[in-house]
């Protein structure tokens, strides 16, 4: 089975009311664990790579890993997505190396740390959408700056994240502006800011409406019912994983992630893609610590990596089931990029914003 575009996958998710977890990878072990989980529950997959991951593994290595996964699991539709592209070149080279979807994060300038204004965001996201759609690839845009409503700042992930103090207006996507943004850029999916952030330290307490603004998700969905919404920074940072990490020598301060019930609430209101990275890292590194402490003479990397892969597989399987992604893979027949490009040219995939509700 060939790879699938984000647009086709999220169209299917919207039609059937499920969400799709998007797992970040950097190596073979993560890819295998994710695909084994998907295979176990018949779930389609979004695997994404940041600029940091591309630098770490190399584009050629990452593309070969994905090609191998597609060959090993031919019955599982797989979307390869560029996470937080910072400029046109990042997105273009991703497509060149087999990515079927790219994110153009115009909320920040190309340095990945300076907040971009609205006009800059619209202009660069529109240019990337035009470029990607020529070849049939999908585009995710971002409106609003990812960061914490508690302390008014952003956390860096692989060097990407806003620097300095952020206002509440910057940290919350404006629903009115979202309508204009989608119409002006022609994006296939919209990442919105509502209080989530990168990294493990998302909240200092269990989230509520003051620090996780799910009402923004609901209002944007009301105005853009046909637009696929994306939640970034949506790891739940499960307490058992924190406890295991610390029980075997870790020193992670108590933290709270995005509650699963809030993610499921978002899926009911148009969220189709849910970004998860921290949970995956924590699942594996907690096992590394356990093996290192319990088997101090062990030096075979496989004895660390295999149980870590099992832990990641189990976590991914849980997310596929919790987001109702499970059971949908075998029904989906991927549409080739050339056909997607034809549909973009015909206007068939233009955003449907004429049905948006008034403020």
How large is the C-alpha radius of gyration of the chain? 19
Conformation bin of residue 237: beta by default, left when phi > 0, alpha when psi is -120 to 50: left
Return all residues near 241 (Cβ < 8 A) that are at least 6 apart. 279, 282, 283, 286
Of 173, 148, 164, 147, nearest in space to 113 by CA = 164
State the DSSP code for 46.
E
Q: Which residue has the tokens 């079927």?
A: 100
Q: What's phi and psi for 185, nearest 5 deg?
A: -100, -25
Of 200, 217, 316, nearest in space to 258 by CA = 200
CA dihedral 7, 333, 324, 51 (to 10 degrees): -40
Q: Which helix (H) or strand (E) element contains residue 189?
A: strand 189-192
List C-alpha distances in Å: 42 to 34, 229, 271, 321, 342: 12, 23, 21, 10, 29
Return all residues near 291 (Cβ < 8 A) that are at least 6 apart. 298, 303, 304, 307
Q: Where are the alpha helices (DSSP H) in the chain?
A: 6-16, 28-41, 51-57, 59-72, 88-96, 118-135, 168-171, 175-185, 214-223, 239-247, 260-268, 278-294, 301-322, 337-346
Strands 101-104 and 271-276: unpaired
Active-site residue, 83 included = yes
Q: Which residue has the tokens 């470029």?
A: 131
Token pair belonging to 356: 């948006």
Out of 11, 39, 83, 277, the active site residue is: 83
Active site residues: 83
């Amino acid at each position: 089975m060939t790879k699938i575009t984000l647009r086709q996958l999220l169209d299917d998710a919207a039609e059937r009311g499920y969400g799709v977890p998007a797992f970040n990878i950097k190596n073979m072990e993560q890819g295998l664990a994710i695909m084994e989980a998907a295979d176990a529950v018949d779930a389609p997959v979004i695997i994404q790579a940041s600029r940091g991951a591309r630098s770490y593994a190399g584009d050629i290595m990452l593309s070969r890993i994905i090609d191998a996964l597609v060959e090993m699991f031919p019955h599982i539709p797989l979307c390869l997505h560029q996470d937080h592209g910072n400029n046109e070149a990042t997105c273009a080279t991703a497509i060149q190396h087999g990515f079927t979807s790219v994110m153009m994060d115009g909320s920040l300038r190309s340095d990945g740390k300076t907040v971009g204004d609205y006009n800059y965001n619209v202009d660069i996201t529109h240019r990337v959408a035009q470029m990607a759609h020529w070849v049939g690839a999908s585009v995710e845009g971002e409106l609003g700056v990812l960061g914490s409503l508690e302390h008014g700042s952003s956390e860096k992930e692989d060097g990407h994240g806003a620097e300095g103090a952020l206002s509440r207006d910057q940290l919350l996507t404006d629903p009115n502006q979202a309508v204009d943004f989608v119409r002006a850029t022609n994006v296939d999916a919209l990442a919105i800011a509502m209080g989530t952030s990168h990294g493990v330290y998302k909240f200092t307490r269990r989230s509520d409406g003051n620090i996780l603004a799910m009402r923004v998700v609901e209002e944007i969905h009301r105005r853009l019912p046909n637009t696929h919404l994306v939640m970034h920074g949506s790891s739940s940072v499960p307490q058992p994983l924190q406890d295991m990490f610390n029980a075997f020598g870790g020193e992670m301060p108590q933290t709270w992630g995005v509650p699963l019930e809030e993610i499921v609430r978002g899926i009911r209101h148009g969220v189709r893609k849910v970004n998860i990275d921290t949970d995956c890292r924590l699942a594996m590194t907690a096992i590394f610590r356990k093996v290192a402490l319990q088997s101090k003479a062990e030096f075979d990397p496989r004895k660390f990596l295999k149980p870590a892969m099992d832990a990641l597989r189990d976590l991914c399987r849980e997310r596929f089931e919790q987001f109702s992604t499970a059971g949908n893979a075998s029904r989906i027949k991927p549409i080739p990029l050339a056909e997607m490009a034809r549909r973009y040219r015909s206007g068939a995939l233009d955003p449907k914003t004429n049905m948006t509700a008034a403020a």
